[in-house]
Amino acid sequence: MTSLFEDAQSRLIEVMKYVTLSDDVVNRLKYPKKALSVSIPVRMDDGALRVFTGYRVQFDDTRGPTKGGIRFHPDVNLDEITSLSFWMTIKCAVVGLPFGGAKGGIKVTPKELSLLELERLSRGYIRAIADIIGPKRDIPAPDVYTNATIMGWMADEYYQIMREQLPAVITGKPVHLNGSLGRDSATGQGALFVLLQWLKAFELAPENTTIAIQGFGNAGFHFAKLAYELGFRIVALSDSKGGIVSNDDLNPQLVMNQKLADNTLKAMLYCDGSVCREAEFNVVSNEELLELNVDVLVLAALENQITEQNADKIRAKHILEIANGPISPEADEVLKRKGINVLPDVLVNAGGVTVSYFEWVQNRSGFYWDNSEINCRLKKIMDTEANNVFDLARQKKLSLRSAAYLHGINRISGAMTEHGTREYFQK
């Protein structure tokens, strides 16, 4: 069985057919620049001491300081974090940000911790990695099961260590703690901008386009809410516990209200003001949701949700990857043979890191933008880079994934080459 990092690296094989890269570039993209494993002792509320394992991987910093989120999840491991840092390297280059890629995580089930325990863990993680992060070195951000509050704790811990206010060290902070407007919705908003550009070629109007969404966390919810507001038909939603499918359009905001009320998607009583009604829906598993016959299947959960075991059952016409690595390389080949268009993660979910970049810029300049400015700047970048990838795919007759990788690697290769490669020194 191949590792997740081997799967991630295999994406480069197709790209190598269409670009001549120096051996120096190929070799440097095979290995992370730095991988740190740390132990984080935390005093629990009952007085016991637990030790958690954390990681921070900085894959490449040729194009700028490294950038990447921190996830809290029981399945976090070094292979996963290394893979995610590699994808971040490609992603930042695809949308032209002056960053390299990094990722971090702690092996923990956060729902089992009290808020005080979660704060101690968050601060302990920053104490453990403080020597390798900084506004000009490596800038963390939220990821799976982390949020603005946790980023605020982490930033505050870093300030105490450094004895100065350095808000640009971490992005995704609360707005009142020098965070950026628009950061919470950025990943979903960026994905929607990409989808809108893609659907232009198919003349698919939102009101005639059905969407099923696997993953109803922050990114999935904001994408669903924004798409619904534009008139797209949201017909199915799921989270880690299961999902719902409806003949009527689902209103994501009302579904989220109910989920927050009883922590499930199964009790569907829609309440809009003083009016409540039962929604007509069927309960489905995450696996069943993937196989629905819809126009767009949105993958906003975790890695490897579509594999060679279930790829042949997928019936959606287009797949939007908001999650990182939700389709295995083997499944990619099956979907390609079936004629299913896959809009890849390294382009689609880049809205989050783009607005994180905006936050970093605002923190360093001390000048802050309003929501309309954030949205306008995000739209310009996502529209431009999406069309660059789509045009490259058409010109080279590539899959959208290969085109996105080629687009990003061209930028990375250019930066590495400017430092001097074997070919330069053999002149």
Backbone phi and psi for residue 65, each to the nearest 5 degrees, phi listed first: -60, 150
Is this model's pTM higher than 0.85 or not? yes
Cβ 405 vs Cβ 346: under 8 Å: yes
Structural tokens at position 75: 């399945």
Q: What are 111-134's pLDDT values in tens digits?
A: 999 999 999 999 999 999 999 999
The pLDDT confidence band at residue 280, using thresholds 50, 70 and 90, is low
Domain 180-427 falls in which CATH fold? Rossmann fold (3.40.50)
The percent of residues above 70 in pLDDT, for the chain, comes to 95
Chain-wide mean pLDDT for the chain? 91
Q: Which residue has the higher pLDDT, 65 or 200?
A: 65
pLDDT band (50, 70, 90) for residue 319: very high
Reported as a single tens digit per residue, the pLDDT across 162-205 is 999 999 999 999 999 999 999 989 999 999 999 999 999 888 88
Q: What residue ranges do the domains of the chain occupy? A: 32-177, 180-427
**Which residues pair with residue 37 across a beta bridge?**
55
The percent of residues above 90 in pLDDT, for the chain, comes to 73
Exposure b/e, 356-376, CB count within 10 A at least 16 = b: bbbbbebbeeeebbeeeebbe
pLDDT mean over 330-359: 95
Per the CB < 8 A criterion, the answer to whether 63 and 412 are in contact is yes
The pLDDT score that the predictor gives to residue 240 is: 78
Domain 32-177 superfamily per CATH:
Leucine Dehydrogenase, chain A, domain 1 (3.40.50.10860)
Tell me what the mean pLDDT of segment 305-325 comes to: 94
Burial class (CB in 10 A: 0-12, 13-18, 19+), 256: middle
Distance of alpha carbon 402 from alpha carbon 318, whole angstroms: 16
pLDDT tens digits for range 5-16: 887 777 777 777
Q: What is the pLDDT of residue 222?
A: 95
Give the pLDDT of residue 276: 33
Residue 393, pLDDT > 90, answer yes
For residue 270, pLDDT beyond 80: no
Active-site residues: which are they? 103
HEC readout, the chain = CCCHHHHHHHHHHHHCCCCCCCHHHHHHCCCCCEEEEEEEEEECCCCCEEEEEEEEEEEECCCCCEEEEEEEECCCCHHHHHHHHHHHHHHHHHCCCCCEEEEEEEECCHHHCCHHHHHHHHHHHHHHHHHHCECCCEEEEECCCCCHHHHHHHHHHHHHHHCCCCHHHCCCCCHHHCCCCCCCCHHHHHHHHHHHHHHHHHCCCHHHCEEEEECCCHHHHHHHHHHHHCCCEEEEEEECCEEEECCCCCCHHHHHHHHHHHCCCCCCEEEECCEEEECCCEEECHHHHHCCCCCEEEECCCCCCECCCCHHHCCCCEEEECCCCCECHHHHHHHHHCCCEEECHHHHCCHHHHHHHHHHHHHHHCCCCCHHHHHHHHHHHHHHHHHHHHHHHHHHCCCHHHHHHHHHHHHHHHHHHHCCCHHHHCC
- CA pair distance 217, 245, nearest whole angstrom: 17
Return the pLDDT at 402: 92
For residues 239 and 158, what is the distance between their CA atoms, to the nearest angstrom?
Answer: 33
* pLDDT recorded at residue 15: 77
**Rounded CA separation 243/238 (Å):** 4
Return the pLDDT at 273.
40
Give pLDDT, residue 59: 97
